[in-house]
Structure 1
Amino acid sequence: MQYVTNDGVTIDYDRLGEGEPVLFIHGWASSASTFRYQLNYLCDDFLLLAPDLRGHGRSAKVTRGGRISRLAMDLHELLEHEGLQRVSLVGWSMGCSVIWNYIDLFGEGRVNKLVFIDEIPFVLGTSSMMIDWSNAELDVRPLTNLYKRFIPELTRETETANFISSMLKTASPTEREEVIATAKLASSFSAANMIINNNVTDWRDLFKHIKSPTLLVSGSASFFRPEFYEWMGQQIFDCRIVTKKGAGHFLHLEEAEWLNPILLDFLGG
């Protein structure tokens, strides 16, 4: 399936199943294909939508709109295109930021439930900044390192493969190859600009305003510390937290047998 955004970009998306709608949003340098285990598991119970973000996967490669706010607008336009008035949103990694930006812009009027998989609201923050707002000072050194590393080198396949591989824990050789191949499909413009925009944006002030039932999913071996999710859970009005011991960042791919029943129970409950 495809639709065209208001700035003329063609977005490709998967659509399968019937029932209450659930929309999956993938992360940086990824695609909807990494949700295949969830789509296959849940398609008998829900209408499932999973777009490839602009500049990623099968969607158009672009040299404009490399910002989370533009991705949030693309999400809004997909809901308009499908005529959906009520939908649950599932985000993984940067996909969570897309949802947060969508809520910031359009509110929760169309939102049924929310699932955030392994992402925190201020990637360049520290654990102390989560607890004490007065400590919220931006350390420019990580930002400088991101620019130095990703913008010049994202077009180098070895660098992309090494970075993606570092986030995988238990993926099979085939899964690892597929994830790396998918990452290489992302345009260098989109990948470089979106990772910077995502990592410097601070969404913490949004969380106390989220009223939709929310599920936070994390892996204890991911690069995000447990106290981040504890803080998020304290801010959100109706929130449940689940953590998979020993799991890394790609929970939806590597821990699907654990995650899928949890999603079915939460989304269908």
Structure 2
Amino acid sequence: MLATGIDRFFTSSDGVRLHYVDAGRGRPLVLVPGWCMPAWIWEQQVAALAFSHRVIAFDPRSQGQSQIATRGHEPGRRGRDIMELIAQLGLPRVVLVGWSLGVLDGLAAIAEHGDQRIAGLILVDNSVGEGPAPSGASRSRFIPALRQRREPTVRGFVASMFRTPQPPDYLDRLSRDVLRVPLQASIDLLSYPRPREYWRDAVYGTRRPVLYAIRPNFAVQGEALAARHPDARIEVFEGAGHALFVDEASRFNGLLAEFAARRAQWA
């Protein structure tokens, strides 16, 4: 349990017990973490924003405290899990915040189920299918490394997510949570069977406001998104790592609160 939140569970329509942390009151924010990451990585957002918002940090299937699933590690099912979480909470609309793989899970949710229950999208540091396709070289190296040297590969990946130094026990805890995800599930999560156009069509298929919080390597995609989407804003975190909401938590939290107050479509 995060310091300011309550652990809760619900069962998905295909029988998987899913965990989330529920904190605070007010306009709801649903936070979806990245590849194999636990909900508690959002701890700085929960601590700062639960004073003024209802903050729900989600553990996707097989991640964090959610049940290890034997199936469903693909975008359609994981997007459905997000929509079932929102329905479980009884919320008419939420600001949906997805980081890394959580960007794709969130876009799959609206692609398959529409945006009626979405007040706005915050997409954090992953592709939205714009511009030239990135090289697949890093993935082609990473998956064999996971198979052959899983623990050092995971620990190296976790450490690489941050630009600011993190305590060794924090990095160790994160790494152990990643290693809890079964190897094949972790590989399946890196191999989403969708063309890039699927993600691009999803983000342009909604007229809900979008905040795209990214590092400079996604700037070209950000410029295209800002030019083509009627209500998209781009924020580039020049000095942060992939987990930019940890490296620059105060800035990120301020942007999230401002987005929820001024741009999200609650009505």
CA distance in 1, matches of 2:195, 2:175: 25
Structure 2 counterparts to residues 1-269 of structure 1, below 5 A: 1-122=8-129, 127-129=131-133, 144-150=140-146, 152-153=147-148, 156-174=150-168, 175-197=170-192, 201-202=196-197, 203-220=199-216, 224-269=217-262
In structure 2, list runs of 5 or more residues that go unmatched: 1-7, 263-267
TM-score, scaled relative to structure 2: 0.87
C-alpha RMSD of the superposition: 2.2
* Of 205-214 and 91-100, the range deviating more from structure 2: 205-214
TM-score, scaled relative to structure 1: 0.86
CA distance in 2, matches of 1:198, 1:142: 18
In structure 1, list runs of 5 or more residues that go unmatched: 131-138
CA contact (8 A) 1:85 1:110 kept: yes
Cα gap change, 1:199 to 1:219, in 2 (>3 Å): farther
CA distance in 2, matches of 1:192, 1:71: 15
Cα gap change, 1:37 to 1:241, in 2 (>3 Å): same
CA distance in 2, matches of 1:163, 1:216: 23
Cα gap change, 1:186 to 1:235, in 2 (>3 Å): farther
CA distance in 2, matches of 1:119, 1:31: 18
Cα gap change, 1:227 to 1:145, in 2 (>3 Å): same
Q: Give the number of aligned pairs.
A: 253
How much identity, in percent, do the aligned residues show?
Answer: 26
CA contact (8 A) 2:125 2:218 kept: no
Deviation, structure 1 residue 239: 0.9
